Amino acid sequence: MARTYHHLVGGKQLASDHTFESRSSSNRADVIGTFPEASKEQVREACVIARNGFRVWSKTPAPIRGELIASIGRALEREKEPLSRLITREMGKTLKEARGSVQEAIDTCNFFQSEGRRLYGQTVPSEMLNKELTTYRRPLGVVGIVTAGNFPIAVPSWKIIPALLTGNSIVWKPSEDAPAVAYAFAKLIEEAGLPGGVLNVVFGAGRGSAGQYLIEMMDEGLLDKFAFTGSTAVGRQVGEVAGRNLIRPTLELGGKNPMVVMRDADLENAVTGSIWASFGTAGQRCTSAGNLIIDAPIFDAFKEAFVAAAAEIRIGDPVRYEDVLYGPFINERFFGRWSSHYQWAEEDGATLLYGEGQITDDSKPPGWLGDPNAGFYGWPTIWQDVTPDMRQFKHEIFGPTINLVKVDGIDEAISVANAVDFGLSSAIYTNNREWAYRFKSEIEAGMTSINNSTSGAEAHMPFGGIKGSGNGTRESGIWVIDTYTYWQGVNDDVSGRLQLAQMETAYVEPGELVSVESLFEGSS
């Protein structure tokens, strides 16, 4: 019998009438736990409790908050292995990647623990004597957070850790696809000693459930900030509700990330990078490559090497086989969305180079391991003759699929790379300095790699996109601090009288007018 878990609200466990199960992505018979589905009333209650948590937490000195972040990092380090195994079991990424994503959360703690001893403001000179100007970062209040299932610990940590460090309280609705990992993360944060009510976790789904209710709490005036990772469509809704409540949301949305391979590239390196960017995590990263844009003179050579490499990919249950490149879809919903693009390709006229859709008993790629019926698995899928007007070129597919698009030269490569409504990540393989320079300056994307994968951003760099990939907010590093704080400018007048800015600033009288010509008249 799988255990039943509860919401974590106000430092207490809270049950719901409705529940749902979390099952292993690679073995649908394996039930990890039963989780509650929050009612609107419960989400509201969590927000009200978080307000009390904010009062306590915002008054805790920032260096002490930093110490607590350090404790969370140590707890994550201690539990790294079981936590990584839980990620692999629940969501289906490989153990190597799961360890990497726990490490990403640890790195985030390492970065922010000492930020508690900085969190600098400025001292600024005043126009007037006996008056001091200073600036302070202040926390925003209660933050609503909704996260996706593909990065169940790294991406939540990008939000939760800096939000806590800067003194905010939180109501977090983790993905219904990975609630067990979220529960474990929240318990480790609790262990570090966070006061009750500062981090509140409510479980449930999105539309018509806890996620939607949490968004609606902005309209009830119960939230001061919202941070969301997920689809562009839901991101727009969050942005609309936030906008009418004058809240600046953090929106990390979809991607259709271009990867360009130029004629001078190191072909072997480019093929290895393209295989990883396209098929790693079964393509279920918002930073996965979406279109491979290949320079005409090397198109055929690249294609041949790439298809040969795809045929060697090991795929299977990552719980049983540690060395697979990728495992299952998170669940049937993700699988269904991916498999429908085969239909698009047929209707829009793309040519299938490699792949046979779902992996089944009768259709297994050469590197397959295990029982294909235990989860939902997809063939590595490669298309050619793809053009920018096709749906599979434009839309995020979120699965192990890639389009080969032929271009001629750097100008066409950049314009095709920019021909999508997204702008999250991007990459170019070239050793030509001018082409690399042009790409990084002309590509419309928040993140760019030169001779590396579109995925794999480090935890102290600004993460985020432009165009349909977000609203320009950034996570991670020093940049995220601006999104969880507001600036307060303070002027402190010790003159004992009313000094008027702009009006009483005549400390210096101008001297006589100087004409350089007249200074030297008659001196030749």
Q: Interface residues with ligand UN1 (CB under 6 A)?
A: 104, 150-151, 155, 229, 285-287, 455-457
Q: Residue 451: which region, alpha, beta or left (left: phi > 0; alpha: psi -120 to 50)?
A: left
Pick 284 or 381: Cβ nearer ligand UN1:
284
The amino acid at residue 461 is M
Q: Report how far apart, in Å, the C-alpha atoms of 57 and of each of 68, 72, 198, 305, 506 are.
A: 11, 16, 7, 56, 45
- At closest approach, how far in Å is the CB of 76 from ligand UN1? 16
User: What is the maximum span of the chain, computed from C-alpha positions, in angstroms?
Assistant: 106
What is the residue type of 172?
W
CB-nearer residue toward ligand UN1: 97 or 444: 97
Q: How far apart are CA 399 and CA 336, in angstroms?
A: 10
Q: Which of 278, 266, 256 is nearest to 451 (CA)?
A: 266
Alpha-carbon separation of residue 160 from 1, 73, 169, 226 (angstroms): 32, 13, 9, 11
Q: How many helices (H) and strands (E) does the chain have?
A: 15, 23
CB 198 within 8 Å of CB 57: yes
Query: Which is nearest to 354 in space by CA: 395, 312, 321, 388?
Result: 312
Of 155 and 382, which CB lies nearer to ligand UN1 in the complex structure? 155
Smallest gap from residue 107 Cβ to ligand UN1 (A): 10
Sign of CA dihedral 168, 146, 9, 5: negative
Give the nearest distance from C-beta 477 to ligand UN1 in angstroms.
Answer: 13
Report the distance separating Cα 74 and Cα 61, nearest Å: 20
Q: Any catalytic annotation for residue 286?
A: yes
Q: Which is nearer to ligand UN1, 254 or 375 (CB)?
A: 254
Q: Which is nearer to ligand UN1, 167 or 470 (CB)?
A: 470
Residue 475 has which token pair?
A: 């996570």
Could you tell me the sign of the dihedral formed by the alpha carbons of 143, 34, 184, 235, in that order? negative
Nearest to 420 by CA among 458, 380, 369, 465: 465
Could you tell me the two tokens for 50?
């978080």
Q: How far is the CB of 458 from ligand UN1 (least distance, A)?
A: 7
What's 286-355 look like in SS3?
CCCEEEEEEEHHHHHHHHHHHHHHHCCCCEECCCCCCCCCECCCCCHHHHHHHHHHHHHHHHHCCEEEEC
Q: What's the closest the beta carbon of residue 176 comes to ligand UN1, in angstroms?
A: 16
Closest separation in Å from C-beta 127 to ligand UN1: 46
User: Would you say 37 or 90 has its CB closer to ligand UN1?
Assistant: 90
Please state the closest distance from residue 409 (CB atom) to ligand UN1, in A.
Answer: 29
Name the packing angle between helices 95-115 and 80-91 (round to 10°).
Answer: 130
Active site residue 132: no
| Closest separation in Å from C-beta 318 to ligand UN1 | 17
Catalytic entry in 37, 286, 396, 444? 286
Q: Whose Cβ is closer to ligand UN1: residue 104's or residue 295's?
A: 104
Q: Based on CB atoms, which residue is closest to ligand UN1, 280 or 365?
A: 280
User: Distance between CA 32 and CA 483 in Å, rounded?
Assistant: 35
Please tell me which residue in 37, 104, 176, 252 is annotated as part of the active site. 252
Beta pairing partners, 467: 422
Taking the least distance from each CB to ligand UN1, the nearer of 222 and 397 is 397
- The token duo for 512 is 């006589």
Min CB(460)–ligand UN1 separation in Å: 11
Strand order from edge to edge, sheet including 123-124: 123-124, 131-139, 485-493
Nearest distance from residue 206's CB to ligand UN1, in Å?
A: 16
Closer residue to ligand UN1, CB minimum distance, 285 or 467: 285
300-304: which pairs have CB atoms within 8 A and are 24 or more residues apart? Answer: 301/267, 302/261, 302/267, 302/270, 302/271, 302/404, 303/353, 303/384, 303/404
Q: Which residues are catalytic?
A: 252, 286
